[in-house]
A and B are shown apart, each in its own frame.
Chain A
Amino acid sequence: METNHQLKRADFIFKNENDWEEVLKKNISRSSNELINELISSELKGRGGAGFPTGLKWKLSAEVDSDTKYVICNADEGEPGTFKDREILSLVPFKVLTAMAICGLVVGAKEGYIYLRGEYFFLKPELNKAISEFEQYCKEINLDFTIRIFMGSGAYICGEETALFESMEGKRGEPRNKPPYPALSGYMNKPTVINNVETLAHAYTIFTYGAKRFYDLGVQYSRGTKLFSVSGDTPKPGIYELELGMSLADFVNDFGDGDSKAVQVGGASGFLVPRKRFAETTIGYQGKLVGISLPTGGSMMLFNSSRSMFNVLDNYLEFFREESCGQCTPCRVGCQQLLKGIKAVKSGEKSTQYLDKLLTLAETMQFTAKCGLGQSVANSFSSIVENFREEMIY
């Protein structure tokens, strides 16, 4: 994996959006194929964390034959330590709306929805204002596309795309079996493109400046820039747009407080990287080359030596135990067992070897849980227990 040997800051996402009308008008005159190819050649990958190639997602949905299709913007930003989508929607909403409309045109959808996190209710009035202005313009240029906001109700699991559809359909937010995938059967069992807020904002950048400008940023397999929500033991918490492929050591150099012992990359469902691995870790999507490469939804939590990693893990597991939808066994019961298990080891009720049993349980959860939530509990669990085993015991 290539690495950027210094942090490269960028300023695309929050650059002013005054040109959105122009960008929309210019792009709707292009063919669907042309737009998809532009997106594919940019190598933009989903910025929610999973990293699925966005162009391919649009293409799959475009190829399905259906009278009704949907475009959904996933704004259920619930990953602990992530707060970038809120800023995008408050500062540059038209970029997101424009990208949704272009997506609608590409795949043949006339309806778009923004699934807005329940706690972001305060964004709704301004966002609705932007939507009416946007829809007015769509009418003027004869683009048949509407956007509605759907308010979430506070469940973390509803950020999982199929649980999100269930929630929108008025049902309990529980992930579905896959296949079928959303591109074929999503909201209302119709072909649906569902993209993270930031992904759409990047698509706007690509449709404004062209794929090459985006592709030239970042490194192989991890093109373009990414917003990072920096928090924890750092003198400068906040949101930063950086090129992908940076080394974690460089990141810590810039953002750490000089005493960083670990960084949690990707929130509670991400990985903990200890100091000894900062240098060999890059931030980006997994490629075929050597080295550790961590994808992320953008949450970067720094911990200094005053932090107990047991408490950190305890906190994450409390979160998962409560936010699991509860339908599948490995996630529902597994989270309870992991949480109770580390407490029992700490208190001496269980022997230290019990941690090994818990590590194999975490692995089973990764292999067998129904959705990304249960599958990714092992990420933080295993990386924390393996790297800070002594803190779990003493």
Chain B
Amino acid sequence: MGKNIKITINGEIVEINEGTSILDAARQVGVIIPTLCYHKDLCVAGNCRVCVVEIAGQKRLSPSCATPCEEGMDIFTNSVKVRNSRKHIIELLLSEHNADCTRCYKNGKCELQKLASDFKIMSNDFIPLVPFKNYTIDMFSPSIIKDDSKCIRCQRCVRTCAELQGVNALTVAYKGDKMKITTFFEKAMNDVVCTNCGQCVIHCPTGALVERNYIEEVWAAITDKAKHVIVQTAPAVRVALGEELGFESGTRITGKMVAALKRLGFDAVMDTDFTADLTIMEEGTELLSRLKRALVDHDPGVKLPMATSCSPGWIKYIEHIYPDYLGHLSTCKSPQQMFGALAKTYYAQARNLQPDNIVSVSIMPCTAKKFEANRPEMNDSGYRDVDYVLTTRELAIMIKQAGIDFMKLEDIHFDRLMGESTGAGVIFGATGGVMEAALRTAYELVTGREVPFKDLNILPVRGMEGVREASILIENPLKEWAFLDGVELKCAVAHGLVNAKKVMDSIISGEANYHFIEIMACPGGCLGGGGQPIPTSPEIRAKRAAAIYAEDEGMPIRKSHLNPEVLKIYKDFLIKPLGEKSHLLLHTKYTIRKSF
């Protein structure tokens, strides 16, 4: 903390920590300065100039986001000069923007539109520039649509892709009037190193980057009487959906969400948490078998550390950037894809349905899941395992379209067979959750005792540090696991691909010596996913995480291996983890991709 200094904001004397930006100082005293290129997750760019303020004695205005307070500064945030300039800047942005607002997917959710409304920009004196530019809409990606005509060049996407993800799929090219945000050699989004994580989408202030939506397709399936439409909901959706429907961030609305899905007309509403628990059974067993091959069989071919494979953004990242390390990935499919494969086999048999009449929909906090469902190998059921992936935002749109008064809904429980979950399945939605769930089960399978953490809460793997490490010493294991006696199981957790890179590089250099790593592509894990409600910020993600852990604590069962429906599926259908059916339906292989 620096020393305190005194400044004046609109005539009011304010004491503030030295080095605080004018923007933050103003917010602290209840003065809101409008912004566009500024985002709490990102470094300060200072390029939109909407946040300019007047400092007494200076002819030019200063960007409040990029200007630190200095002792004695006399700042005006709403002078004539500021207001006129700000209006000019908004007018300029609108003149370069395809302001066809009523036909825009982000209509009502656009930050530029809101500013234009706040400042009542009624004139269109400036010459519309869009007709002079040769814009095309990139619709090649199954996850993300990029429409340059809506872009205001704030570079939030560019900074997101570089600073949070280290992917740099989006970058600035050309200069002057031709300056634009584009990809390597201006290729389509599906043809470059893009992980489809959608972080650019949740950081974009306008409609320039949006998810590819499948709302109409899902409505069509629901309306088709011949189809049996089932839906699964990912763990992180239930702690964020409320934000789109009038609730505070961090409100848990699981029961209402199920009720809304029923009202939308889905024939069965089930839970991805169920396959999250199933993932723990398969992945935990896979980890133990890899450890046995390493420690007992001394098999040089065994790949450790084993890395989680739930996050499709992470999968595509490692396929592009570390193709030599695909053997480290768990062969487990993500919970979404396990669910999809079981929906058209296990569920179809149990309900006596024709698999080709089943339409399998998933609600995900994620845009990369759309790509994942489209991967050619994801048809082990004999059909497309998951037909449509909707983001949390798309579900909210459907709920609004259907006229459902969400607040008034009574809680309903998920349908049976694949709708039961444990606290372990729920925490998959937060960074560190898969690790925690896996440790809860694996430790107990090996030692016959619960993990040595109070109330099963493995705090070292929780939190929002980019990379977290933990270790568990295995003592007095059961007889069949005697080879693990005295082994200190070393784990690491990373979220945000920029942190994934740190972990991978430390493994490759030999600096780190882990057995098991959990990696989630998005900041905060799935709860901060690219398909979640907009806006996002560290505070919002922390609230969603608190809700996830509260949901876990409230569950009667908190360990995956005790999920009754998981026990049932092994008894009736799969027989055992890593068994023949598991291999066929629940495990997958990866694709080497080029790094440019």
Q: Are B46 and A336 in contact (CB under 8 A)?
A: no
Number of interface residues of B (CB under 8 A): 38
Contact of B48 among A322, A329, A336 (CB under 8 A): A329
Task: Kindly state the separation between the CA atoms of A340 and B175 in the bound complex, as whole angstroms.
Answer: 18
Stretch at the interface among A32-40, A75-83, A368-376: A368-376
Q: Are A335 and B176 in contact (CB under 8 A)?
A: yes
Q: Are A375 and B60 in contact (CB under 8 A)?
A: yes
Q: Are B178 and A326 in contact (CB under 8 A)?
A: yes
Contact of A368 among B60, B129, B172, B174 (CB under 8 A): B60
Cβ contacts under 8 Å, B45 to chain A: 327
Shortest Cβ distance from A357 into B: residue? B125
Contact of A332 among B44, B61, B127, B179 (CB under 8 A): B179
Shortest Cβ distance from A325 into B: residue? B175
Cβ contacts under 8 Å, B68 to chain A: 179
Q: A177-B66, A324-B175, A368-B60 are in contact. Are A330 and B46 (CB under 8 A)?
A: no
User: Residue among A329, A334, A354, A370 with the most chain B CB within 10 A?
Assistant: A329
List CB contacts (< 8 Å) of A327-344 with chain B: 327-330, 332-337, 340-341, 344
Q: Is B293 an interface residue, CB under 8 A from the partner?
A: no
Cβ contacts under 8 Å, A320 to chain B: 176
Number of interface residues of A (CB under 8 A): 37
Q: Are B92 and A333 in contact (CB under 8 A)?
A: yes
Task: Kindly state the separation between the CA atoms of A321 and B48 in the bound complex, as whole angstroms.
Answer: 17
Task: Kindly state the separation between the CA atoms of A368 and B46 in the bound complex, as whole angstroms.
Answer: 11
Query: What is the predominant secondary structure among interface residues of chain A facing chain B?
Result: helix
Query: Chain A, 303-336, contact with B by CB distance < 8 Å: what is the 0/1 string?
Result: 0000000000000000011111111111011111
Cβ contacts under 8 Å, A329 to chain B: 47-50, 89, 92-93, 152-153
Q: Is B103 an interface residue, CB under 8 A from the partner?
A: no
Query: Chain A, 367-394, contact with B by CB distance < 8 Å: what is the 0/1 string?
Result: 1111000010000000000000000000
Shortest Cβ distance from A364 into B: residue? B88
List CB contacts (< 8 Å) of B103-133 with chain A: 125-127, 129
List CB contacts (< 8 Å) of A176-214 with chain B: 177, 179
Q: Is A217 an interface residue, CB under 8 A from the partner?
A: no
Q: A364-B88, A367-B61 are in contact. Are A323 and B175 (CB under 8 A)?
A: yes
Task: Kindly state the separation between the CA atoms of A321 and B96 in the bound complex, as whole angstroms.
Answer: 14
Q: A333-B95, A367-B59 are in contact. Are A326 and B48 (CB under 8 A)?
A: no
Task: Kindly state the separation between the CA atoms of A337 and B89 in the bound complex, as whole angstroms.
Answer: 12
Q: Are B89 and A364 in contact (CB under 8 A)?
A: yes
List CB contacts (< 8 Å) of B43-78 with chain A: 44-50, 52, 59-61, 63, 66-68
Cβ contacts under 8 Å, B63 to chain A: 177, 370
Q: Are B92 and A334 in contact (CB under 8 A)?
A: yes
Cβ contacts under 8 Å, B175 to chain A: 155, 157, 322-326
Q: Are B95 and A337 in contact (CB under 8 A)?
A: yes
Cβ contacts under 8 Å, A172 to chain B: 172
Q: Is B543 an interface residue, CB under 8 A from the partner?
A: no
Shortest Cβ distance from A334 into B: residue? B92
Q: Are B52 and A326 in contact (CB under 8 A)?
A: no
Cβ contacts under 8 Å, B52 to chain A: 367-368
Shortest Cβ distance from B92 into A: residue? A333
Q: A322-B176, A327-B153, A328-B47 are in contact. Are A368 and B66 (CB under 8 A)?
A: no
Q: Is B511 an interface residue, CB under 8 A from the partner?
A: no
Q: Is A360 an interface residue, CB under 8 A from the partner?
A: yes
Q: Are B61 and A368 in contact (CB under 8 A)?
A: yes
Shortest Cβ distance from A340 into B: residue? B127
Q: Are A344 and B127 in contact (CB under 8 A)?
A: yes
Task: Kindly state the separation between the CA atoms of A363 and B505 in the bound complex, as whole angstroms.
Answer: 51
CB distance from B13 to the nearest CB of A (A): 23
Q: Are A368 and B176 in contact (CB under 8 A)?
A: no
CB distance from A273 to the nearest CB of B (A): 21
CB distance from A176 to the nearest CB of B (A): 9
Task: Kindly state the separation between the CA atoms of A75 and B88 in the bound complex, as whole angstroms.
Answer: 35
Q: Are A366 and B60 in contact (CB under 8 A)?
A: yes
Cβ contacts under 8 Å, A168 to chain B: none
CB distance from A334 to the nearest CB of B (A): 6
Cβ contacts under 8 Å, A155 to chain B: 175
Q: Are A368 and B89 in contact (CB under 8 A)?
A: yes
Q: Is B6 an interface residue, CB under 8 A from the partner?
A: no
CB distance from A317 to the nearest CB of B (A): 11
Cβ contacts under 8 Å, A332 to chain B: 96, 153, 176-177, 179
Q: Is B183 an interface residue, CB under 8 A from the partner?
A: no
Contact of A326 among B44, B85, B88, B153 (CB under 8 A): B153
Task: Kindly state the separation between the CA atoms of A179 and B46 in the bound complex, as whole angstroms.
Answer: 12
Shortest Cβ distance from B93 into A: residue? A329
Q: Is B509 an interface residue, CB under 8 A from the partner?
A: no
Task: Kindly state the separation between the CA atoms of A321 and B177 in the bound complex, as whole angstroms.
Answer: 6
Q: Is A149 an interface residue, CB under 8 A from the partner?
A: no
Task: Kindly state the separation between the CA atoms of A114 and B67 in the bound complex, as whole angstroms.
Answer: 30
Q: Is B134 an interface residue, CB under 8 A from the partner?
A: no
Cβ contacts under 8 Å, A322 to chain B: 175-178
Q: Is A361 an interface residue, CB under 8 A from the partner?
A: yes
Cβ contacts under 8 Å, B81 to chain A: 367
Q: Are A326 and B49 in contact (CB under 8 A)?
A: no
Query: Chain A, 227-257, contact with B by CB distance < 8 Å: what is the 0/1 string?
Result: 0000000000000000000000000000000
Task: Kindly state the separation between the CA atoms of A379 and B153 in the bound complex, as whole angstroms.
Answer: 26
Cβ contacts under 8 Å, B59 to chain A: 367
Q: Are A336 and B129 in contact (CB under 8 A)?
A: yes
User: Residue among A323, A327, A328 with the most chain B CB within 10 A?
Assistant: A327
List CB contacts (< 8 Å) of A86-131 with chain B: none
Q: Is B84 an interface residue, CB under 8 A from the partner?
A: yes
Cβ contacts under 8 Å, A326 to chain B: 153, 172, 174-179
Task: Kindly state the separation between the CA atoms of A369 and B59 in the bound complex, as whole angstroms.
Answer: 12
Cβ contacts under 8 Å, A337 to chain B: 92, 95, 126-127, 129
Cβ contacts under 8 Å, B93 to chain A: 329, 333
Q: Is B337 an interface residue, CB under 8 A from the partner?
A: no
Q: Are A370 and B89 in contact (CB under 8 A)?
A: no
Cβ contacts under 8 Å, A323 to chain B: 175-176
Q: Are A341 and B127 in contact (CB under 8 A)?
A: yes
CB distance from A329 to the nearest CB of B (A): 5
Cβ contacts under 8 Å, A335 to chain B: 176-177
List 10 other contacts, CB 8 Å, given A329-B49, A332-B179, A368-B60. A155-B175, A177-B44, A321-B177, A322-B178, A327-B47, A329-B153, A336-B129, A337-B127, A340-B129, A344-B127
Q: 15 A-B pairs, CB-CB below 8 angstroms? A: A177-B44, A177-B67, A327-B172, A328-B47, A329-B92, A330-B89, A332-B179, A337-B126, A337-B127, A344-B127, A366-B60, A367-B59, A367-B60, A367-B85, A370-B63
Q: Which 4 A-B pairs have the closest CB atoms?
A: A326-B179, A333-B92, A177-B66, A364-B88
